[in-house]
Amino acid sequence: MLLINRLIPRPKGLSMSLMPEMSEYELMQAAVDYVPKSEHPTNKVAAALGGLEYNGTPFSLVETNYWPKAIAKKIGRDIRIGNASGTVHAETACLLATIGNGQANRTSMYVTDLPCPNCVKNMAESGVRKLYIDHKGFTKDFALRRGGHFENMSLRICEKANIGVYKIFRKEKRIETILEIQKGFSPVNIKPSCVSVVHKKLSRKKFRDLIEQEKEFYEGRPFAMALETSPGKIYNTISAEAHPCPGYTEQTIEQGDEKYSTILQPLNRVMMRAVRNGHMISPHYIYSSHVPTARELVDMVGMLGVTKLTIGDVTKSRDAGGLQALKQLVDAKIITIKT
């Protein structure tokens, strides 16, 4: 469930750099207070995000980890979707909830638990500037089990992407710096996702033409494409191929284990591009040349409410988990495929 909550009204036009100093304890407290709303029986997690709307009004929103309604109802909470859990993580839920509301670029994220590498990759790709973690998150069971991924990957991704990381003690009103932002440093991002302005009217035929155009551009490499609506109601194509997350290059990519790597997949990058800018994605015009990963499918169904997906080759996927997830979602009539 999404709660858009203007927790702390501020005057318009206030610069982003001032916001965390005014609000970090309250935003962290908002996330902590929201934790019981998580329907997860054991890993209850919440995250809050503070940023600015288009007109400069500050916004903040809070999310928990949750099962997309369609998945909970038609498949069940106990079943994995391919090789992913059926839940959308709280941090990624926050990011995706900004779509159409406000841009995630230069926001601050507040989390109750140590974030996994996938969520941190999404933060890096969507331009999150600061990550605050509640001090209690470091000592929970969850942290003891998953702390390795945080230390070995999540933190390193933050460092490369120049995301400041802070441990927050709410009651004592104290903040400990884990990773400081390096001033004047911008992370390498060799191939940013590409955007081309289209036009004011959209049709299936036009969408097909755009796919063909992008296919030529990517020369056989897997890619994904969506159409975003900017505030001026002009449709833009956003397309992307798999790419190391900001701060990494092909030479420095890290393969943590089979679960995580520092590569971002095409459809995920397309979604994070819309998140970065706060633009809407049209749920009926999403294309992927190959079958998306299980994680991408769950996030897309959960946050974008996608029920239709156009796929170039339904037999190809990064891994077998994606193929299996797609079959589950199609069999449960959650999404229909167009080829």
Q: Note whether 89 binds Zn ion by CB under 5 A.
A: yes
Q: How far is the CB of 338 from Zn ion (least distance, A)?
A: 30
Q: Which residue's CB is nearer to Zn ion, number 119 or number 311?
A: 119
From candidates 28, 61, 84, 116, binder to Zn ion by CB under 5 A: 116
Write the DSSP symbol of residue 333: T
Stretch that binds Zn ion, among 15-23, 87-95, 96-104, 206-214 (CB under 5 A): 87-95
Q: Which long-range contacts (CB under 8 A, 24 or more apart) does 13-17 make?
A: 13/56, 14/56, 14/58, 16/51, 16/52, 16/106, 16/107, 16/129
Stretch that binds Zn ion, among 108-116, 268-276, 281-289, 301-309 (CB under 5 A): 108-116
Rounded to an integer, what distance in angstroms lies between the CA atom of residue 141 and that of residue 153? Answer: 19
CB 51 within 8 A of CB 102: yes
Q: Binders of Zn ion: how many residues, by CB under 5 A?
A: 3
**Between residue 247 and residue 276, which ones bind Zn ion under the rule CB under 5 A?**
none
Length of the chain: 339
Q: Which residue's CB is nearer to Zn ion, number 140 or number 279?
A: 140
> Which 3 state secondary structure label does DSSP give 221?
coil
> Which 3 state secondary structure label does DSSP give 3?
strand
Residues near 17 by Cβ (< 8 Å), separated by ≥ 6? none
Stretch that binds Zn ion, among 69-77, 109-117, 128-136, 201-209 (CB under 5 A): 109-117
Q: Note whether 119 binds Zn ion by CB under 5 A.
A: yes
Q: How far is the CB of 23 from Zn ion (least distance, A)?
A: 23
Rounded to an integer, what distance in angstroms lies between the CA atom of residue 85 and that of residue 62? Answer: 21
Q: How far is the CB of 95 from Zn ion (least distance, A)?
A: 10
Stretch that binds Zn ion, among 33-41, 86-94, 238-246, 254-262 (CB under 5 A): 86-94
- Which residues of the chain form contacts with Zn ion (CB under 5 A)? 89, 116, 119
